[in-house]
Structure formats: C-alpha cells, structure tokens
Amino acid sequence: MTTASPVLSADDLWRSYPGTRRRRTRTEALRGVHLALQPGERLGLVGSSGSGKSTLLRCLLALDAPDTGTVTCAGRPVRPGPVRTLRWYRRQVQYVPQDPGSTLDPRMTVGALVAEPLRHLAVPGDHRDAVATALDRVRLSRTLLARRPGELSGGQAQRVALARALAPSPDVLLADEPVSGLDLAVREQVVALLAELSATSGLALLLVSHDLSVVSRLCTRTVVLDEGRVVEDRPTAALVTDPRAPATRALVDAVVRLPA
C-alpha cells in the first residue's frame, strides 16, 4: 500500500530571533519542527502563547524563512521571495486570517475583495463567475456583493475572508484561529462549514489554534507545539482523551466545549 506524498510539509525547521535589551539571549522559536499535511487531511496545530505556532505559520506562508530546514509544497521547496516567483504557491496554499475585520479593506466591496486574489495571482477564467461560486460555497448571498466590510456581521466577514481564500481553488487552507472572535452559535456554523468544504472538495486544512474544543471538532490529527518543539503528533481523539505531554494536558484542562 502506497502512501500519498504530503501536499505541504516542514522538515526540521529551526528559527531563532536576536535578543533584546531586556533579554540578551536569542529566542529559539522553532526547534527541529517536522510537520506533514496529506491531501484532504484536516490537521490541527495547537499550543499555548509563545509555543511557536505563529512562527511556524509564517514559515509555511513563506513570509519568514527558517534558519535551517525546508518547507515543501507538492515536492517543491518554498521560501520567501518576490510575488511573481511565489504566484504558483499562493494559488495552491491560501490563508484564512484570525481577524478579517483588520485584513479586509474597508473601502472595497465584497465582490472586489473576493476577486482581489484572482487578479493578483493572474488566475485564468471568468473572475465574476469565480467570485459568485466562492460566495455560494461559503453560504453567503450574492446580494452582499456590493456591501463593504463595515456593513457585515462578524460571521459574514469571516465567510468573506474564507471566500477570498477559496476563490483561487487552492489545495490547502491555512486557517489561523478562524473562529476565535465569533460567538458560540456563529462559531458552530463556521466550524461545520469548514468540515463540509474539506469533506466535499478534498481540500487540506491546517487549523492553528489554542482551543482544543474547535480542533477536536474539525481535525483528525493534531500536532502540539511547546517551546518550539513538537511534543505530540497523534490522532486527535486519542490526544484529547489521553494527553501525554504536560503542554497537552494543560490545553485539555482549558477546553471550553462547543455544544453538541
């Protein structure tokens, strides 16, 4: 039986930052991190503040380069570079932000916001049709096309951010705390939508979070980071019911479960 090659992987990533006036020693943000996301897989990446999640996400997004180690997408190495040289990667790997209110340009309409990555990435085809399809996929009415972010609810704004990410038809979504700013009812809807999108389209999802209640609803496997190291990498159900690392036990103890 053959195993599919990862659609996105990190191999032995190390990343440190210079010290500051208060702290002279260098900060080791990543220490030999390995991570592999399979096609269609829903993988959770969890850890407390300062565990290295944000640094790893920046490396995966080619916004920061590791000191050593390699990020690979579909067999090709990925490093920060000019927009034109990374266009292939941005088509394959898209980002869903934590706070769309701070990333959606308030001057642009919903239609223009969802079309923007299509234009920047020179995606071929009818962009108006792609925008309409993306809105349909996230269950947003096309009547919102002319509205601006300030006229949207928090849940609608998050769905617009998701539609932007889906418009170029990527293979991978990197989602950074995508429901942390939403109330429980809307959070439940967005979690269900992400699960449906992955199940029906084969989209691979890397969900970055500190909240195991969300991760356990979405992800079949979970990687736990602590002080820049991977301390657990196991099926989510086993990890939640039998946490082995102290960092995992702390996250389990902090769980606020979503309603069933």
CB atoms within 10 A of CB 190: 22
Instruction: Note the pLDDT tens digit of each residue in 154-182.
Output: 899 999 999 999 999 999 999 998 888 78
Instruction: Note the pLDDT tens digit of each residue in 20-34.
Output: 666 667 889 999 999
Residue 254's pLDDT band (boundaries 50, 70, 90)? confident
Is the Cβ–Cβ distance between 26 and 16 less than 8 Å? Answer: yes
Domains of the chain from N-terminus onward: 8-84+92-100+171-253 (3.40.50.300)
Higher pLDDT pick, 74 / 91 = 91
- Amino acid at the residue 19: G
Instruction: Note the pLDDT tens digit of each residue in 76-89.
Output: 999 999 989 999 99
Element (H, E) at 58: helix 53-60
Q: How far apart are CA 169 and CA 232, in angstroms?
A: 31
Q: How far apart are CA 149 and CA 158, in angstroms?
A: 10
- Helix intervals (H) in the chain: 53-60, 87-92, 100-103, 110-120, 127-137, 154-166, 184-201, 212-218, 236-241, 246-253
Q: How far apart are CA 83 and CA 129, in angstroms?
A: 25
Distance, C-alpha 159 to centroid of its chain? 14
Q: How far apart are CA 104 and CA 87, in angstroms?
A: 21
Q: How far apart are CA 5 and CA 36, in angstroms?
A: 9
Instruction: Note the pLDDT tens digit of each residue in 132-141.
Output: 999 999 999 9
**pLDDT value at residue 20:** 66
**pTM for the model:** 0.91
Is the Cβ–Cβ distance between 168 and 195 less than 8 Å? Answer: no
Q: How far apart are CA 120 and CA 117, in angstroms?
A: 5
Q: How far apart are CA 223 and CA 95, in angstroms?
A: 19
Residue with tokens 């959070």, as numbered in its chain: 187
Is the Cβ–Cβ distance between 153 and 184 less than 8 Å? Answer: no
